[in-house]
Amino acid sequence: MNLLGNLIWIIFGGFLIFLEYLIGGLLLCLTIVGIPFGVQLFKLAIASLVPFGTVVTHTPSSTGCLYTLMNILWIVFGGIWVALTHFVFGLLLCITIIGIPFGRQHFKLMALAFTPFGKAIN
């Protein structure tokens, strides 16, 4: 079932989301200051390519002030807009019965996009 969900996801926009995150991550990695944020966008790119079957977990060492500071910087400089975009798409997809599984994936991506530092994708 995960394979079918991922194939439908990729065909109907998941690949475009993946490319957007990938290009954004590459652009951020061009600067030295943006490398940690680019790595987080790569994490989001992988999760957005195949969201069905992926699990987002907290890393064991995610309770540090560095993760908190980086998440605050992330939220201030664009993470809030990415999370709100996933939230709106999740709401729109949950209007129909067929779109509910895809809306749930957007809500999972929203949580990851809001605070990506200190989280791992399994």
Can you tell me the mean pLDDT for 14-22? 93
Torsion angles phi and psi, residue 76, rounded to 5: -65, -40
* Nearest CA-CA partner of 114 in 77, 62, 89: 77
Q: How far apart are CA 108 and CA 90, in angstroms?
A: 9
Residue-wise pLDDT for 35-86, tens only, equals: 999 999 999 999 999 999 999 988 877 667 888 899 999 999 889 999 999 9
Of residues 5 and 1, the one with the higher pLDDT is 5
Q: How far apart are CA 15 and CA 24, in angstroms?
A: 14
Query: Domain segments of the chain: what residues?
Result: 2-121
Q: pLDDT value at position 61?
A: 72
Token readout for 100 is: 């509910």
* Nearest CA-CA partner of 44 in 12, 72, 28, 20: 20
For 53, which DSSP code? T
Provide the percentage of residues in the chain whose pLDDT is more than 70.
98
Q: pLDDT value at position 63?
A: 67
Question: What is the pTM assigned to this prediction?
Answer: 0.89
